[in-house]
Structure 1
Amino acid sequence: MASRVPNPLGEIVNGTSAQRPSRDTRLVGRYVTLVGLSAAHADPLYPHISGPENAHLWDYMFEGPYDDINVYRSSIKAKEASQDPIFYAILSNGKPIKALAGNDEKSGRVVGIASYLNIDPGHRSIEVGHLMYSSQLQRTPGATEAMYLMLRHAFDDLGYRRYEWKCNSLNAPSSRAALRLGFTYEGLFRKHFIVKGRNRDTTWYSIIDDEWPSIKKALEAWLDPANFDSEGRQRKKLEEFRQ
């Protein structure tokens, strides 16, 4: 009787779990700082993400748009209490503004929100999402730096080996952003959700720990002040640093 050929098995993985992210963490960069989202951030951010001129920001979100500040405050309060996702406010490191109510420090202008979600320390997998970038943050070095800071924290500090990015398949800007940052396209989940009464197919992207060192190097080179001229224009695109 012929001996049975063993089934192929995956490589042995160190069983150490990753750490859970904390909303008490403060991620400080050159252009932006990320802090745990709190109810105090609702009022400063609301003018930049509300009104007809900003309604398009919510097209691919599970929530919004908001035309009532009180409803938005309730939404932020719920996010403050959430343990998965864990939400962060993105603060501009530009000229400081007055201290936010309820905060024990002077903060930069609140220009956006980001989160870690689908947090799985055992399998060392985590996702970035619920990104809400105001027009003040979009297409700025700070927008890229916010993602760099979250990536670096997840891989270098918390010990994750897989970092996910998912978006509505119709959200072309989000897909372009993922590819620009160095994420790899993994596939399409068809009829994944029903959002606001509409079908959502979801596109999946990821960065894994083996890829992170080279992606990190490229991001740091792009973010270096030497890569920008006196008018703030980039000298080289981020993709060029990965070539």
Structure 2
Amino acid sequence: MEVDHIFDVIGMNIARCLNDSNNHQIILTSRETQLYIDVNTGEKLNQWSNPYTGNIVSVIHVANDPVQSTMSTDKFSIKGYLTSENQIVLPIDVNLFYPNPLFENETLRHYSKEKFYQAGEYFKFFTTLNQITNESLTQVNQMDLSWTRISPILPWMNMSTQYNGTLVFSAQGTKISSLTQIDQVLFNEIIKRIPIYENAPNCQLDTSSETSWTYFKKYFSEYLSNIQEFPIPKSKEDIPCVHD
């Protein structure tokens, strides 16, 4: 299969770090959203004409709430390399391999045929050494990043059983101080449909992390309706905290 530019993406992650001193760990709790964008118009795609199958499918945008992880403070270290006297690059490679949540269901398997989900996400964060070594700071104020993701065909594309393909995402971003600084298309989407993404969770939520595959499974019937616009509107948290 040839390499094709099938859509653009715009997205954001809003996160909070919680110090769990009793368990000697830092809890990272976040929400992330990403819109698939028409390469010609720059507008959000709600329906996508699949150039490989000829079918028109509903587009399920990324709405992962939450995405959570923990880091041990006993073993915590920052591994990076200096590019100049004060500029530092922090690379993070995330290689994913786990059972495909759609595989056990015969109907859902049609949209994602692999028994195991395998993907990779590769980040590089660019900041200054004096920020990350300043113990008086509670957050880094200036940070740029690059992001590359290699993954299977998305379930909503409805072509897993017909084609063996791979998606490659390549993007860059920066830390912002206000939601008004993000792309206008994404800003409008958050304000109108998913205002919960204006803030990170206040606690560690008592659930596993959401992914595009689990979200597809959760809203499969809405996807089949061909009239539901994604992401599904959400204005307030309905998941309890771990210690509630």
- Shorter chain as denominator, the TM-score bin is under 0.3
Q: What TM-score comes out, normalization by structure 2 length?
A: 0.25
Higher share in strand: 2
Name which structure has the greater RCO, CA cutoff 8 Å, separation 6+.
2
The alignment's TM-score, normalised by the length of structure 1, stands at: 0.25
Of Structure 1 and Structure 2, the greater helix share is in: 1
